[in-house]
Amino acid sequence: MRASPDVTADLPTVAELGLDLLKTTPYHISISLSRPFICAGLYFIFAARGWWPAAVLCVMFLFIAIVASAHDLVHDVLGLPRWLNEVMLALIGMLVLESGHAYKVTHLQHHRNFPHEDDPEGDPARMSLWRAILEGPVFLFRLWWWSWQQRPKARGWLLLEGGWFLGVALLALTLWPQSPALLVYGGLVLAGSWIYPLSTVHLPHNIHGENALFQTYTLRGRFIPRLFLELTYHLEHHLYPAVPSHNYAELSRRLEPYLERAGVEPVKVW
């Protein structure tokens, strides 16, 4: 599997880089799938005890875990049976009141078409900074609706995930007099989703890049990439989407000589 055909550099195939980059293990699978549920569970434990700063921190880590897990499930790189992959994608999206299948439909479209306009997920990359920020409250609803129109076969999942959002919202309002935990949780995950257009689209992409090597960025460092579960290697992911997220750092290390020769300059972070 080679990178996008518009790449002018002589990039290697995954086989040339090492087929071990495609491998995963039961350990990696269990960590990827359990991490979001652990973060959500800890939120409710801390909220019940009134430890709100710790509860909010759990939601912050939940978003990082969700993006990493959903990426792997969308690209089907964990080696799960198809039915289990689809169920876990739905459940993990539901943890943050999002549609995992809307994300799948639009994210795969993003990989096919970016930086062209028939890419609703990539739209914030074509916006100004402030316009991308303002897009936050409506971004996921737009992606859900686009998915509904474009993929009739996914409508069962989309209805289930949309109904879950409405059901949890109603339940949270009902439980508010007894406990604010669910309503606060819903507010936090909803507000957290508003940064997606900025953090996952506008900042990591460059629509003016001459080819796929320069249309997304890669961030290198000792602390930040680990904190964000290697998701900062966005260029590497675009070039080799079949590689699971736990192998991004190693992929980046093996790909570095090729990127250097092509003139790609990684962004240095902590």
Residue pair 232/205 in contact by the 8 Å Cβ criterion: no
Residue pair 90/70 in contact by the 8 Å Cβ criterion: no
Residue pair 183/175 in contact by the 8 Å Cβ criterion: yes
- Tell me, what DSSP letter sits at residue 51? -
Rounded to 5, what percent of the chain is helix, strand, coil?
65, 0, 30
In one-letter notation, the amino acid at residue 82 is: R
Closest CA to 72 of 57, 58, 92: 92
β-partners of residue 122 are: none
Pair of tokens at residue 270 = 């902590």
Q: Give pLDDT tens digits along the chain (270 positions).
A: 344 444 544 789 999 999 999 999 999 999 999 999 999 999 999 999 999 999 999 999 999 999 999 999 999 999 999 999 999 999 999 999 999 999 999 999 999 999 888 999 999 999 999 999 999 999 999 999 999 999 999 999 999 999 999 999 999 999 999 999 999 999 999 999 999 999 999 999 999 888 999 999 999 888 988 888 888 999 999 999 999 999 999 999 999 999 988 889 888 888
- Which element (helix H / strand E) includes 220? strand 219-220
> Per the confidence metrics, is the pTM higher than 0.85?
yes
- Tell me, what DSSP letter sits at residue 213? T
Residue pair 99/140 in contact by the 8 Å Cβ criterion: yes
